């Protein structure tokens, strides 16, 4: 069974560029002295690559923060907007992620899935009356849950392509196919990277276990469920054809079936349109 070398993986991601639209917007906004701070925050937090790169820097031991920083908003409060702006600009300077890759993994569909999962995850948190100071953590967890996939598409496209094909042809979950061809799943790769970047242990755990429906924390339950809702509503596509919830079973934390839960959340199409506005140039 082939396996990915962690050191190479980590070094590769250091140089990985961000998504085209956010790079373009960051360059625009950082050239405008009057650009609203909240616009800059929104652009950064709509890009998983930019988000992890900034969280990585701010969570390094050098800033001795009393608690881990899990969202861009928190990062701005702690280290200041101008520093975050310049960090985003340094990520933008690395270029842009190409829309096509050898794995034939659609990066725009991936981003749409990640963004809608993030927004739905925050909605679910609100539904569970999570403290307002923690809701942005739920958004970030949703945004980053599949981060390992975009890394695979760039780092090991040949094997990732085989995994995507097998998952589609045999209708099996992508993470099982990844383990077969790459020796590691995107959830495990996400965990390795998140650990290396000293992210919050709760976030690391949520990324690692986002396919595990049992024995979960509030955050894990929300990611797991948001992921299924995004897939069920076909908001983008992240390579996994399997929706991991029998629609007739109740989801314990919400005490509803997946379909009833979706109905209870109201019209979710604005989430999709808003996400699309961050993706399309």
Give the interface with other proteins as residue ranges (CB under 8 A): 36-38, 41, 57-58, 60-66, 73-74, 76-83, 86-87, 90, 131-133, 135-136
The conformation of residue 54, written as its DSSP 8-state character, comes to H
Cβ at position 19, least distance to other proteins in Å: 21
Q: By C-beta, is 4 or 124 nearer to other proteins?
A: 124
Cβ at position 82, least distance to other proteins in Å: 4
CB burial of 111-137 (b: ≥16 within 10 Å; e: otherwise) equals bbbbbbbbbbbbbbbeeeebeeeebbb
Q: By C-beta, is 72 or 164 nearer to other proteins?
A: 72
Cβ at position 41, least distance to other proteins in Å: 7
Q: By C-beta, is 136 or 230 nearer to other proteins?
A: 136
Collapsing DSSP to helix, strand or coil, 5 comes out as coil
Cβ at position 245, least distance to other proteins in Å: 28
Q: By C-beta, is 133 or 277 nearer to other proteins?
A: 133
Q: What would the 3-class secondary structure string for 111-134 be?
A: HHHHHHHHHHHHHHHHHCCCCHHH
DSSP 215-227: S--HHHHHHHHHH
Cβ at position 73, least distance to other proteins in Å: 6
Collapsing DSSP to helix, strand or coil, 234 comes out as coil
Report d(CA 140, CA 114) in Å as an integer.
10
Q: By C-beta, is 66 or 266 nearer to other proteins?
A: 66
């Amino acid at each position: 069974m082939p396996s990915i070398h962690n050191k190479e993986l980590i070094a590769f991601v250091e140089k990985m560029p961000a998504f085209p639209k956010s790079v373009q917007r960051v360059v625009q906004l950082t050239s405008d002295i009057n650009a609203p701070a909240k616009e800059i925050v929104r652009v950064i937090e709509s890009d998983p690559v930019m988000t992890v790169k900034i969280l990585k820097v701010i969570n390094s031991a050098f800033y001795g923060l009393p608690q881990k920083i899990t969202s861009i908003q928190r990062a701005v409060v702690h280290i200041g907007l101008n520093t975050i702006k310049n960090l985003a600009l340094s990520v933008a300077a690395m270029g842009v992620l190409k829309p096509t890759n050898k794995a034939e993994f659609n990066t725009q569909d991936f981003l749409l899935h990640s963004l809608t999962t993030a927004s739905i995850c925050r909605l679910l948190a609100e539904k569970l009356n999570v403290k307002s100071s923690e809701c942005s953590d739920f958004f970030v967890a949703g945004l980053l849950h599949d981060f390992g996939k975009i890394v695979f598409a760039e780092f090991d496209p040949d094997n990732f392509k085989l995994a995507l094909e097998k998952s589609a042809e045999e209708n099996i979950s992508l993470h099982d196919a990844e383990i077969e061809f790459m020796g590691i799943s995107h959830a495990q790769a996400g965990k390795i990277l998140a650990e290396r970047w000293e992210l919050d242990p709760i976030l690391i755990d949520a990324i690692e276990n986002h396919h595990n429906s049992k024995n979960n924390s509030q955050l894990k339950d929300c990611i797991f469920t948001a992921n299924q809702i995004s897939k069920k509503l076909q908001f983008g596509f992240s390579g996994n054809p399997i929706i991991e919830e029998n629609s007739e079973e109740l989801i314990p934390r919400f005490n509803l079936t997946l379909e009833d839960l979706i109905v209870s959340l109201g019209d979710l199409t604005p989430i999709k349109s808003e996400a699309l506005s961050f993706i399309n140039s």
